Amino acid sequence: MEYIPLNFPFLAAALLVGVSFYIIIFKKNLIKLIMGIAMLAAGVNLFLVSLGYRAGGTAPIYTDVPEGPMVLSVPQALTLTSIVINVAVLALMLTMVIHIYRHTGSLDSEKSRKMKG
C-alpha cells in the first residue's frame, strides 16, 4: 500500500459514484438500475473506509499492537453498518423486481410502467 498515493482511493470512489449515477439515470433495465445502486453503495463505502486510513497504520484491534499509527476505527464501524443495510435494501429491491417481472413480463422500466401523470 505504501506505493499507492493516498488520494487514489478517493479518486476510485468518485469514479464509482459518477458511473453509478450515470447508470441510475440513463439505464432502462431494472436489474442494471439495482447494480447501479450497489455500485453507488460501494463507492460511498470505499470513501468512508479510505477516510480512516493512515499510511502504514495497523488494524484497530487492541491486542498485541505493534508500534506506530493505527487506522481510525469509527469509519470502519460506519462502513460495516452501511454494508449490512445495503444488503437488506438490495435483497428487497430484487424481490420487488421478481414480482414486477411476474406481473408485467418485462424488466424494461419503460414497458413495465403502469402509472403515469
Partner 1 sequence: MDTLITHSSILIIAIPLVTAFLIPLVGMTSKKARNALVIVSLAFVAFLVFALAKDIAINGIHIYTLGATSPDLTTPTGFMAPVRIILEVDGMSILMGIIWSIVSLAAAIFSFSHIASETGQNRFYTLLLLMVTGGFGMMFTGDLFNLFVFLEIASISGAALIAFRTKFADTQEGGFKYIVVSAIASLMVLFAIGLLYAQYNSLNIGALAQVIQYTTPDKIALALLLIAFTMKAGMVPLHLWFPDAYSVAPASITGMLVITSHACMYAAFRVCFTLYGGMLGTSVVGWILIIFGLLSMFVGVTMAVFQKDVMRFMSYHAISQLGYMWVGVGVGLAVLGNPALLATYGRDAISGGIFHILNHAMYKPLLFFTGGALFYCTGTRDLTKMGGLAHKMKWTTILYIIGTLSISGIPPLNGFSSKILIYESVYQFHPILTITGIIVSILTLASFTKAFHSAFMGAELPEYKEVKEVPRSMIIAMVILAAGIIFITLFPALIVNWIINPAADALINQGAYINAVTGATP
Please identify which residue in 31, 55, 85, 111 interacts with partner 1, judged by CB under 8 A.
85
Q: With CB under 8 A as the contact rule, which of the stretches 1-9, 54-62, 63-71, 81-89 interacts with partner 1?
A: 81-89
Say how far apart CA 48 and CA 76 lie, in whole Å. Answer: 7
DSSP 8-state code for residue 60? S
Stretch in the footprint of partner 1 (CB under 8 A) among 1-9, 60-68, 79-87: 79-87
- Which of 17, 25, 24, 26 is CA-nearest to residue 45? 17
Give the residue with the Cβ less far from partner 1, 1 or 98: 98
Q: How far is the CB of 69 from partner 1 (least distance, A)?
A: 15
Residue 65 or 91 having the CB closest to partner 1: 91
Q: Which residue in 12, 35, 37, 71 binds partner 1 (CB under 8 A)?
A: 37
Give whichever of 12 and 37 is closer to partner 1, judged by the CB atom: 37
Residues 6+ apart with CB under 8 A from 37: 20, 24, 89, 90, 93
- At its nearest, how many Å lie between partner 1 and the CB of residue 68? 20
CA pair distance 105, 98, nearest whole angstrom: 10
Give whichever of 3 and 48 is closer to partner 1, judged by the CB atom: 48
